[in-house]
Amino acid sequence: MKLPNFFDFAPLNAVKEKMGIPRDVYGDLTVHIDAARLSEFELERLTSTDGLDVTLDEIRVLEDGTLAFKTSRVLLYIRDVADYGHGQFQPRYHVAECATLLQMKEKKKFNRYVVSTRTDGRFTLNVIKSSQTHTGLHNLSVCQNCLDKLRFHGFAMQLSSAERKRRVTNFLLSKFFEQYPVSLHLQKPRFDEDNAPRNNYTDDFGQISQTLRVKSGWRCIDCNINLSDPAMRQYLHVHHRNALKWDNDPRNLEVLCIRCHANKPDHSHIKNDARYYQFLRIIDETATVLDSGS
């Protein structure tokens, strides 16, 4: 479509004349782009196999422990890696501020990372071997320390090595970004000060809690302890992830032992419950018996 020459566009000039604007006067159009929002180039790079190079100052840690670049939740990985001939040169990608990233920060190696939002686990690496660089796509695995940091689906370093490897193998970025959405654009709150419900448990929460604990096999999803013994079931709780006691959406609920529940953010008050110390004593006595019998 060919645009008209607005300098000679009669309808426009007629309107300007009615408004008392001289025919040869034209305004300036200034477009302001918010530097905090992703540019088209950045969006393309984040979803590409190359990723986007970043500096430490450009990455922030969100309240849930995950990582963000501008208005996007991201993952981090190292693009330039050395192959010393042992065949194990592939780095892990990171989805949280884990112990590994903290160590890299201390060693001033954080600038070797790039960010991405890809969900297929395939990323471009520059593999350096014998002074030669080979660039190609590689399948990378998630960092175990990150999963431990987030307690993602009950992952913990206390699990056996075989179980941790199994969970890493089965980890899907697409599922991760379902729980932790890529977009960080602000959403309109569901409630305002007039219609927000009181933060109390619902009348049916007792039944919901019972159903979930039975479904879990009476196991804590974080440490995997079995509390199916009727005398131990009182130490298994149902936790609201977002701290809203009335929000019983299944995605907001997780089954936790009283010890893991107390370790959740803003839940240290549980340690004031006498049952917390009863549980610790029972677990300690059980471990002592097992050790003496081995």
pLDDT tens profile 199-215? 788 999 999 999 999 99
For position 108, what pLDDT does the model report?
63
Counted domains in the chain? 2
Residue 15 is assigned to a structural domain of this protein? no
Computed from CA positions of residues 62, 67, 68, 73, in that sequence, does the dihedral angle turn out positive or negative?
A: negative
CA distance 141 to 55: 23
First to last CA, the chain: 84
CA distance 255 to 214: 10
Residue 164 is assigned to a structural domain of this protein? yes
Read off the pLDDT band of 185 (50, 70, 90). low
The structure tokens 């007039």 sit at: 194
Please state, for a pLDDT cut of 90, what percent of the chain lies above it.
42
| pLDDT (mean) for 266-272 | 88
CA distance 71 to 36: 7
Neighbour tally for 258: CB within 10 Å: 22
| pLDDT (mean) for 91-95 | 92
For position 235, what pLDDT does the model report?
96
Burial of 272 (0-12, 13-18, 19+ CB in 10 A): exposed
pTM of the predicted structure, to 2 decimals = 0.54
Name, in order, each residue with C-beta under 8 angstroms of 105's C-beta and a sequence gap of 6 or more.
56
Indicate if the pLDDT at residue 157 is higher than 60.
Answer: yes
Q: What's the chain's average pLDDT?
A: 84
CA distance 191 to 201: 17
Decide which of 179, 214, 246 is a domain's last residue.
179
Residues 137 and 82 in one domain: yes
| pLDDT (mean) for 82-91 | 68
**Stretch (H or E) spanning 175:** helix 173-179
**Residue type (1 letter), 107:** K
The 10s digit of each residue's pLDDT in 98-148 is 988 888 777 666 556 799 999 999 998 888 887 788 898 999 999 999 999
What are the two backbone dihedrals, phi and then psi, of residue 188, each rounded to the nearest 5 degrees? Answer: -65, 130
CA distance 198 to 185: 26
CA distance 208 to 202: 10
Read off the pLDDT band of 192 (50, 70, 90). low
Residue 173 is assigned to a structural domain of this protein? yes
Residues 172 and 211 in one domain: no
Residue 73 is assigned to a structural domain of this protein? yes
Computed from CA positions of residues 190, 194, 197, 200, in that sequence, does the dihedral angle turn out positive or negative?
A: positive
Name, in order, each residue with C-beta under 8 angstroms of 5's C-beta and a sequence gap of 6 or more.
none
CA distance 142 to 122: 11
Tokens representing 52 are 């986007």
The 10s digit of each residue's pLDDT in 17-67 is 888 888 777 766 555 556 667 888 888 889 888 899 887 778 889 888 899
Residue 7 is assigned to a structural domain of this protein? no
> In this structure, what CATH number is given to the domain that contains residue 231?
3.40.1800
Residue 126 is assigned to a structural domain of this protein? yes
Nearest in space to 74 (alpha carbons), one of 56, 91, 51 = 51
Q: Residue 272 belongs to what domain range?
A: 205-283
Cβ contact 74:116 at 8 Å: yes
Residues 174 and 264 in one domain: no
Residues 221 and 166 in one domain: no
Residues 94 and 152 in one domain: yes
- 3-state secondary structure labels for all residues of 193-231: CCCCCCCCCCCCHHHHHHHHHHHCCCECCCCCCECCCCC
Read off the pLDDT band of 10 (50, 70, 90). confident
Residues 169 and 127 in one domain: yes
Cβ contact 256:220 at 8 Å: yes
Residues 112 and 225 in one domain: no
Residues 74 and 108 in one domain: yes
Residue 213 is assigned to a structural domain of this protein? yes
Residues 221 and 151 in one domain: no
**Residue type (1 letter), 254:** E
Residue 185 is assigned to a structural domain of this protein? no
Decide which of 142, 164, 179 is a domain's last residue.
179
